[in-house]
Structure 1
Amino acid sequence: MDTRQLRYYVALIEAGTYTKAAEQLHISQPSLSATIKKLEESVGLTLINRGSRSLHMTHEGKILYEEARRFLQHFQHVTDEMERLKQQGPLEISIGLIESTIFFVPEILKQFKQEYEEAKVSLMETLSLSDVERALYNFDIHLAITNQNIFQNDIETLPIYEEKLVTLIPSGHRLANKRTIQLHDLENESFIVCKEGFQTRQDILNAFNRAGVQPNIQFEIERFETSCSLVEKGLGITVVPENYVTYSKHTNLVVKSLAEDNISRTVYLAYVNNRYMPPIVKRFIEMIETYFK
């Protein structure tokens, strides 16, 4: 089994037919068929069911396809990285972020640019678990700062800090004059929360569940920016990270602490642990860890 065989196999599966795959690979169809046959012989498994007119993988074939596709992506990433190192050095870093990191990331970036003046930095919002995993596996980002605790063997997830969650209430609302808010106070209020797939949603709903309260969810959003705008318009109440509110430009809303002191979320640093990591990425990670020590 070699890289060429795996590349041909992945191309065949994604093209769907030998004819299309051979055209894309710029080889003859018999040559492609022979390569796939040799791949099957080398692994000692049948990868393609040949009993039907359409192309179908065996169970083993599906496993090999997924692993081969990931391997080839990794191989291409390393090849590109080595070429970049040869041509110009490791001068790029891509980072996935959640909204509330605005309170510290600019400060880290300022320090980082002082050390790596010529480095190009790409910042990308990665909010949901699927966003983070997809961006990491597809090499869109080198690392993510996320509140998603990722349970994948090949992704390292390091907790870096914990942040409190606070309530946002429309100005003039009956609860705006209370010193602190209890979750029971929100039971019948129109509630704004992150949509399914977001860890913050789960953290908030878990807190409601512990308090024996059923929130009246009326709006599901992706970004805290949206929830703040809805609160300002008097459309409901929401719960967001305190660090985000500190730097928010929204002023026509009231921020209240929650009486329940166990409502918080953890923010993590995540990266693929079995992948080549450029020195500037390692240095950026060190800066984050130092900042929170």
Structure 2
Amino acid sequence: MDLNLRDIRAFIAVAQTGSFTRAATRLHLSQPALTVQIRRLEETVGLRLFDRNSRNVALTPTGRELLPLLQKSLHDMEHVLIDARALGEGSSGTVRIACLPTFAASVLPELVQDLKKTVPRVSFHVRDVVASMVNTLVRNEEVDIGLTGGELGDAGFEVLHAGIDRLVAVFPKRHALARRKRITLADLASVPLVLTAQGTSVRAVVDNAFADAQAMPEIACEPTYMMSAVAMVRAGLGVTILPASAREVRAEPELIVRPIDDPAFTRPIALIKKRGKTLPPVTETFVAVLIEKLGRIATAGQA
């Protein structure tokens, strides 16, 4: 027979009050029911825990040794139950998310701050990686949700939200293209480009756009990170193409941004989870906030 919390509570109450009557009152039990619980605990332990007569109740030596151990066990188990209820109610827990670096550096910090105001006990495990790695982390259940880019062809994912991220051209204010209000693919084909490396979702969009137009880009550099691409553009090595949502686009006063006048220069984005996987309640709450934020961004981009 295993120990249970009711029997442990009964033992502690009798030990603290020195009386079955007072302990029964404290626990809102009848005295016979309390007696059954104590007898059951003694049978489980295999030893008498109380010496009792018509006048008083006292712990046996074994009872005295067990009391602090069972008090600690009760305390620990009660806190486990409290934590479990909090997890189930979504008032605590960890949001495990993999996302594109663009998102991690722009939208995510504000969303984390907002959720912590309503759910102070939430924590975040964030992996900011390229789209292919986002998909891998979700597939392997190393994270619960992923904000990824590019086309999704894996039926193992459930799409919680789908949208697009428009791409823009970024170059120095002194660049020859600075006089143009909108940039065409022909403009991009006529200048050296600093493109993020193969395997990134932005690069896939750019390569497909040039391929569909049967044009060949002049690639000056292929950095992995957008920050590196911006630094190379600042140094005059070429024009880069980045998502309009990228924080790097807005952080360089000597650079300017122009929209690309071509529908091919849009990156599909999707919030995904592994199909059939139940999300923790706190993550469900975060997903709702995130989808609302992405919707507002999309609306602002169309205005």
The answer to whether the Cα contact below 8 Å between 1:184 and 1:211 also exists between their aligned partners in 2 is no
Partner of 1:105: 108
Aligned mate of 2:97, from 86, 95, 98: 95
Unpaired segments ≥5 residues, structure 2? 1-79, 297-303
Q: Is the 8 A contact 1:229 1:250 kept in 2?
A: no
SS class of match (1:274): coil
- TM-score, reference length from structure 2: 0.62
Which of the two has higher C-alpha Rg?
A: 2
User: How many Å separate the matches in 1 of 2:83 and 2:279?
Assistant: 12
Q: 1:114 aligns with which of 113, 117, 122?
A: 117
Distance (Å, rounded) in 1 between the aligned partners of 2:111 and 2:162: 14
What aligned pairs does 1:147-166 form with structure 2 within 5 A after superposition? 147-166=149-168
What is the CA–CA distance in structure 2 between the aligned matches of 1:247 and 1:238, rounded to whole Å? 10
Which residue does 2:170 correspond to in 1?
Answer: 168
Question: What is aligned with 1:253?
Answer: 255
- Shift in Å, 1:143: 0.8
Q: What is the CA deviation profile of residues 26-58 of structure 1, one whole-angstrom value per residue up to 9, with x for unaligned ones? A: xxxxxxxxxxxxxxxxxxxxxxxxxxxxxxxxx
In structure 2, distance between residues paired with 1:209 and 1:109: 39
Q: CA deviation at 1:281?
A: 1.1
After superposition, what is the alpha-carbon deviation per residue over 1:73-112, rounded to whole angstroms, capped at 9, x for unaligned?
xxxxxxxxx9996497351111112133244333322331
Query: Comparing 252-261 with 278-287, which one deviates more in the overlay?
Result: 252-261
Partner of residue 69, structure 2: none
The CA deviation at 1:137 is 3.2
Q: Report whether the alignment pairs 1:270 with 2:264.
A: no
Partner of 2:65: none
Equivalence for 1:213: 215
Count of matched residue pairs: 211
Give how far 1:234 is off. Answer: 0.5
Distance 2:81 2:197 in 1: 41
Instruction: In structure 1, give the amino acid aligned to 2:280.
Output: P
Gap change, CA 1:148 and 1:262, over 3 Å in 2? closer
Inter-partner Cα distance in structure 1 for 2:201 and 2:130: 9
Deviations 1:218-249 (A, max 9, x none): 22222211111110010111111111157642
Conserved? CA contact 2:194–2:239, under 8 Å: yes
**2:134 and 2:82 mapped to 1: Cα distance?**
25
Q: CA RMSD in A?
A: 2.6
1:149/1:157 contact within 8 Å kept = no
Cross-structure match for 1:123: 126
Verify the 8 A CA contact 1:171 1:232 in the aligned structure 2: no
Cα separation, partners in 2 of 1:258 and 1:153, compared to 1, 3 Å: closer
AA aligned to 2:121 is E
Contact 2:149 2:201 in 1 (8 A): yes
Alpha-carbon distance in structure 1 between the residues aligned to 2:82 and 2:236: 52
Percent sequence identity over aligned pairs: 19
